[in-house]
Amino acid sequence: MIGCFSELRYKEVIDIHSGCRLGYVCDAELDHAEGRILSLITPGRSRLFGLLGREDDYVLPWSCIARIGGDIILIDVKEELPRRKRPRKSIPGF
């Protein structure tokens, strides 16, 4: 199956052990020296319908990806997923 990197943004990530939906891919970490993907990143869950912000993002190492299908990405994670705080965007003039 041949696909584009941009198509990953439209695939939902699901943990095969718990059945938990982690959301859609929003970003990726790349190794420019070797030319490969290190991890995919999904946004954390929103708190109180997004009014209180979001939890930390999930960082999904490429090694934990079990299968990439047409609509979903299945991950096989045995331990706690690493999290990362999303950098805040600064608004000029505020």
- The architecture in CATH of the region 5-81 reads Roll (2.30)
Tens digit of pLDDT per residue, the chain (94 long)?
566 778 888 889 998 988 888 888 888 888 989 888 888 988 877 666 656 666 778 888 898 999 998 889 999 887 666 566 665 555 565 5
Q: How far is CA 13 from CA 48, 69, 85, in A?
A: 22, 10, 19
Contact by Cβ (8 Å): 22, 15: yes
52: left (phi over 0), alpha (psi -120 to 50) or beta: alpha
Q: What confidence score (pLDDT) does residue 28 get?
A: 86
Output the pTM of the full model: 0.71
Q: What confidence score (pLDDT) does residue 89 get?
A: 52
